[in-house]
Amino acid sequence: MSFSADIITLFPDLFPGPLGASVLGRGLSDDLWSLRATNLRDFATDKHRTVDDSPSGGGAGMVLKPDILAAAIDTIAPQGDPRPRILMSPRGKPLTQKRARELALGPGAVIVCGRFEGIDQRVIDGRQLEEISIGDYVLAGGEVAAMVLLEAVVRLIPGVLGGVDSHADESFENGLLEYPQYTRPQSFEGVDIPAVLTSGDHGKIAKWRGEQSLAITAARRPDLMAAYSSPKRPKA
Ligand code: SAH
């Protein structure tokens, strides 16, 4: 069974959007993964198709109603559906390459996109939604965040990105940022490709790349460097 993604959103027409382009789009047409976006409004029960209401306790904006959202989740992922249920949320755990890799090995994901001020806490608790954030800033809705999550996950599904080794050296895969990349022409605006890369000496190249990776990570991301240098770091 291939990776199956279900999105619950007020804007299903936004999908697949960028997920339909390039290798991810090819993966979709080749059935390496599947994507379905369902309109939350289809689960509204009144004639105005209401999905939100004002926040209890007062304040600005609107909150997505728990009964409507729970009905959508229960229809799309009935009990026994093995896929994790995710809520895109600025209060969630920051998305990591590690979580993306775990999700890519699993059966798929059911992803809830919030809008307005967010969603009623009781549906987060009652449906055990895993809250995931794509960064410390606030978006207008969860749709773009869901695309970010899926793009990070789907490119890791075997077969989607071609080369088996294409992930091994990437940023974050070993806890470090990637080394600089070059390609022809040999000389660009008076700057040559570093000689080691055209030396043909694979040992030297690997050593140079490792050093560059460490230097760039140390300069830009002391947090990653500290975790990498920590004695508790699990050895790959
Ligand atoms: N009032 C909320 C923000 C609501 S933004 C708060 O302060 O926490 C509306 C929706 O956009 C959210 O429900 C969520 O689904 C999505 N969203 C906003 N920022 C996000 C982020 N950084 N990561 C993931 N989803 C986000």
Please indicate if the annotation marks 169 as binding a ligand. Answer: no
The answer for 153, left when phi > 0, alpha when psi is -120 to 50, beta otherwise, is alpha
Burial class (CB in 10 A: 0-12, 13-18, 19+), 6: buried
Number of H helices, E strands in the chain: 7, 9
Lowest mean pLDDT among 3-7, 96-100, 135-139, 170-174: 170-174
Please indicate if the annotation marks 137 as binding a ligand. Answer: yes
Q: What is the CATH architecture of 169-236?
A: Orthogonal Bundle (1.10)
Q: Per-residue pLDDT for 179 more than 90? A: yes
Ligand 1: atom nearest CA of 64 is 13
Q: Which residues in the chain are classed under CATH 1.10.1270.20? A: 169-236
Please indicate if the annotation marks 111 as binding a ligand. Answer: no
pTM: 0.95
The partner residues of 201 in beta bridges, in order of sequence, read none
Q: Which residues in the chain are classed under CATH 3.40.1280.10? A: 3-154
CA of 141 to the centre of ligand 1 (A): 6
Burial class (CB in 10 A: 0-12, 13-18, 19+), 82: exposed
CA of 232 to the centre of ligand 1 (A): 33
Ligand 1 lined by 141 (C-beta under 6 Å) = yes
Q: Per-residue pLDDT for 59 more than 80? A: yes
Ligand 1 lined by 69 (C-beta under 6 Å) = no
If you average pLDDT over residues 197-203, what whole number do you get?
A: 98
Distance CA 97, CA 221 (A): 16
Q: Per-residue pLDDT for 235 more than 70? A: no
Supply 209's token pair.
Answer: 């790349």
Per-residue pLDDT reduced to its tens digit, 26-37: 999 999 999 999
Q: Which amino acid is at 236?
A: A
Pick the CATH number of 3-154 from 3.30.450.150, 3.40.1280.10, 3.30.450.70, 3.30.450.20: 3.40.1280.10
CA of 130 to the centre of ligand 1 (A): 14
Burial class (CB in 10 A: 0-12, 13-18, 19+), 94: exposed
If you average pLDDT over residues 131-137, what whole number do you get?
A: 98
Ligand 1: atom nearest CA of 133 is 23
Ligand 1 lined by 93 (C-beta under 6 Å) = no
Ligand 1 lined by 71 (C-beta under 6 Å) = no
Burial class (CB in 10 A: 0-12, 13-18, 19+), 233: exposed
- For residue 94, say if its preceding peptide bond is cis, omega within 30 degrees of 0: no
Q: Per-residue pLDDT for 123 more than 90? A: yes
